[in-house]
Amino acid sequence: MSALPLDAGAAAAYDEEGAPRRAGFAPALAGLVAGTALQLLQPALWPIWVYALPTAAGLAALGLRSVRRRGALVLALAALALGFGATGLRAAHFASTALAPELEGRALVLTGTIAAMPQQTATGLRLRLEVTAAALDDGQAVRVPALADLGWWGEGAFSSADPLAIRRSLPALRAGERWRLPVRLKAPHGARNPHGFDYELWAWEQGVQATGSVRTGASAPAPQRLSDGWSHPVERARQAVRDAIYARLAPEAAPAQDGLEARRRAAGVVAALVTGDQRAIDRADWDVFRATGVAHLVSISGLHVTMFAWLASGALGWLWRRSARLCLLWPAQQVALVGGVLLAAAYALFSGGGLPAQRTVCMLATVALLRLSGRRWPWPQVWLAACAVVVLLDPWALLQAGFWLSFVAVGVLFATNFVASSPGDAWATGTFLSNSGMRAARLLREQAVVTLALTPLTLLLFGQASVVGLAANLLAIPWVTLLVTPLAMAGVLLPPLWDAAALAVQALGALLGWMAAWPHAVLSRPAAPLWAAAAGVFGGALLCMRLPPALRLLGLAPLLPTLFWQPPRPAVGDFELLAADVGQGNAVLVRTARHALLYDAGPRYSAESDAGHRVLVPLLQALGETLDAVVVSHRDEDHAGGAASVLAQQPQAVLMSSVEDGHALQALRPVRRCVAGQQWEWDGVRFEFLHPQPADYAPQARSNALSCVLRVSSGTGGALLAGDIEAAQEAALLRAGAPLSADLLLVPHHGSKTSSSAAFVQAVAPRFALVQAGYLNRHGHPAPVVAQRYAAQGAELVASPACGAARWSSREPAALHCERRTARRYWQHGPAAAPALPGH
């Protein structure tokens, strides 16, 4: 997805003498960004030729002198057309190379090169393959996308096998190697939840249009290493450095001893700082870094690249000035400027070339070019020019939190006079003053300004902000940038320095862990609407301006909507149901006027990840929900896998379940056994357990047979949450005369053919039959015969792969809202009706 030429657009910004056109430069750049943003709002792409029209028109208009002289509005509209059309062209071309639906789930053989250093997980390896050839098992050639993300699971990956033994059952993979691999592919498909992470956008930005797994077993051809190529030397070098860090700090063969786990976690941070491998950082460490507001310091962010550029520029300038002859050939200031950008680009490339690093290099290059050209523009034009360059190279950066955090922070510092009015002066002098006391005061004020201005935006993007962030950053910024990072980088040449870097990381981690444990260290607020966040950023910036105190205090008012926003709740006597998209598992949030209950907590995805941590905790935080109760229907991992993470964040919630006495959840919270006949009322809404009966709790009872069946009803509608009950339990409910009728049914056992008997479906008679299942899941849920039963009853079968999170309200019982439909964007996967796999 290469950038389009901008010769015509660039020419529009200057007059015949090369000076910026005051009337047209900023509007043209603003129009370019606005046109790009407008295209990103499209729910579906148009034919590619449609985008060619505004692209050609915009380029032609910007190239005409008569148009450029007509004023800012005409230039802005021409640039808007160019931005819209160029982004659409790139998107339509990329979409045309997507994986064909008929190839999803088919047995394929791919030939290609490992394009990035493989990632170790508890269940095996993850790798990115640059595909050069693809064929069916019978040898018939097929076309697949150029990049595919694959999982290669080791022996015993989905049992309780030792992770080390799992990894040792797989071959050692290196970037640049060519392999022939038997695989099954599918389109990138992630969870779609309100305020949730957009995995499909992430894959789109990465250029990945296929995911899948390496087939193993007797029926699959053996994987073959074809050659040990050198097509990705930077990735090979990154992998070699990462492996060397682990080999020194936390070797796998080392005997268990005190402190080894701490060194392993420190090794992950060191590896992330040197190679950009953020997945090396332990999840618990990420939680601490986010709680203390220093997460930007332990990933290769704009701060690291900028600091590296500043240091490299200063070193080059100092060395160049040692030679008078060299200074006559090329001024030292320009050498420092160009060299700093080039070395920063090399550092960003070695650190993985992540999008934040790419954006920073683009910004630095833009400012450097302005300086070299001799132009001294006002800061708004410099800021807007850097923004336009980044958006031109990566239009989808506009949808990334890092883009907005970076540019808002820089803009606020510009506006509050913390960045020199000339970019060249800022580069040449840095932000350090000669007096150490003044430097400390400036750092304190800069951090205070950025913290105050970004807190509303951080609350919008992440639902939380660190109260201790200012103090933590004042300590962590110099510690990481001036001690840890230089030691980690120098360890590439002198490995013993990695030991010192690890000790520094451990010391910092202990301090941050202590600060994260402070009461109210993190401010969590419900996700406010965009207008409230924009007002909050304006208010925070106004408080930081160099204005009279009376004017600055006016900034308090715009902060209030962000800080005190409360999402609307159901009226008394009504309830809402939100079925989260958690893949192959159940998780349903029930909300009344003043109470909330979570029915099941989704699956465990791996040893390091579960639906509670990845989906439900952020969702509850964004909605501002405090749970009164958590119901875990039964012990199976696709229902109880995320419960521990949810309970850790909701200490006040009562736990109700059918799990046995020795279950791990019993150690976290006293469990109230769910029994048929238990009932209560919240805000005019009735809750009642219909199953299991006390006699069902036999020692050898199957877990599915003990599923807690919960009916929620009000005067306007009802819902039945059925867990994993099967035909025998459905028959028992019918014999007992249980009140089964409901407008919405959470389909038993995800639509397995062992459940949803015809009599049960008829008794419930739902308007909507909701199936929570994974995309192309191996069980084939929902089974075709089950889908036919609900269709015969007149119910609408709604499956989470096509719907995403589903919202339903008793106030409007005839309406169900799907996240994938109401917030549709063109890069998001719209799964067609896939061929059914054998049902279970």
At 4 the pLDDT is 35
What tokens does 612 get?
């509670």
Q: State how far the Cα of 389 lies from the Cα of 387, in Å rounded to an integer.
A: 6
Apex CA 8: angle with CA 6 and CA 11, to 5°? 105
- Residue 166 makes CB contacts below 8 A (sequence gap 6+) with 122, 123, 124, 153, 154, 155, 156, 157
At 159 the pLDDT is 63
> Shortest CA distance to 238 belongs to which of 130, 116, 121?
116
Other beta carbons within 10 angstroms of residue 658's beta carbon come to 26
What tokens does 211 get?
């995911």
DSSP label at 463?
S
The full DSSP string for 473-539 is: HHHHHHHIIIIIHHHHHHTTTSTHHHHHHHHHHHHHHHHHHHHHTSTT-EEE-PPPPHHHHHHHHHH
Whether 223 and 555 have beta carbons less than 8 Å apart is answered as: no
Question: In the beta sheet, which residues pair with residue 668?
Answer: none
What tokens does 554 get?
């006016």
- Compute the Cα dihedral for 641, 642, 647, 653 and give only its sign: negative
User: Residue 506: CA atoms inside 13 Å, Cβ hemisphere, count?
Assistant: 16
User: Residue 23: CA atoms inside 13 Å, Cβ hemisphere, count?
Assistant: 10
At 11 the pLDDT is 40
Q: State how far the Cα of 661 lies from the Cα of 794, in Å rounded to an integer.
A: 42
> Shortest CA distance to 353 belongs to which of 118, 116, 1, 91?
116
What are the per-10-residue average pLDDT scores of the chain (840 residues)? 37 44 70 95 94 93 68 86 96 95 94 92 89 92 96 74 72 93 96 94 94 87 88 90 92 67 90 87 90 82 74 86 86 88 87 72 81 78 85 90 81 66 38 49 69 78 86 87 89 94 95 93 87 83 80 86 89 97 97 97 89 95 94 96 95 95 90 96 97 90 94 94 96 95 97 95 97 93 95 96 96 95 90 45
Q: Does a cis peptide bond (omega within 30 degrees of 0) precede residue 692?
A: yes
> Shortest CA distance to 524 belongs to which of 624, 375, 388, 377?
624
Whether 397 and 391 have beta carbons less than 8 Å apart is answered as: yes
DSSP label at 616?
I
- Residue 508 makes CB contacts below 8 A (sequence gap 6+) with 476, 479, 480, 484
Tell me the three state secondary structure of residue 94. helix
Q: State how far the Cα of 451 lies from the Cα of 384, in Å rounded to an integer.
A: 22
**What values do phi and psi take at 301, rounded to 5?**
-110, -175
Q: What is the C-alpha end-to-end distance of the chain, expressed in Å?
A: 43
What tokens does 725 get?
């009950």
Whether 615 and 622 have beta carbons less than 8 Å apart is answered as: no
Contacts 24+ apart (CB under 8 A), 8-11: 8/59, 8/60, 8/62, 8/63, 9/58, 9/59, 9/62, 9/79, 9/82, 11/62, 11/63
In 636-682, beta strands by DSSP E: 654-657, 671-673, 679-682
- Residue 247 makes CB contacts below 8 A (sequence gap 6+) with none
> Shortest CA distance to 681 belongs to which of 578, 593, 588, 568?
593
Q: Does a cis peptide bond (omega within 30 degrees of 0) precede residue 782?
A: yes
| Count helices and strands in the chain by DSSP H and E runs | 33, 26
pTM over 0.85: yes
At 427 the pLDDT is 37
Q: State how far the Cα of 52 lies from the Cα of 31, in Å rounded to an integer.
A: 18
Whether 375 and 20 have beta carbons less than 8 Å apart is answered as: yes
What tokens does 534 get?
């924009």
Q: State how far the Cα of 315 lies from the Cα of 36, in Å rounded to an integer.
A: 39
Apex CA 602: angle with CA 598 and CA 604, to 5°? 140
Q: State how far the Cα of 746 lies from the Cα of 751, in Å rounded to an integer.
A: 9
> Shortest CA distance to 620 belongs to which of 52, 203, 195?
195
At 70 the pLDDT is 62
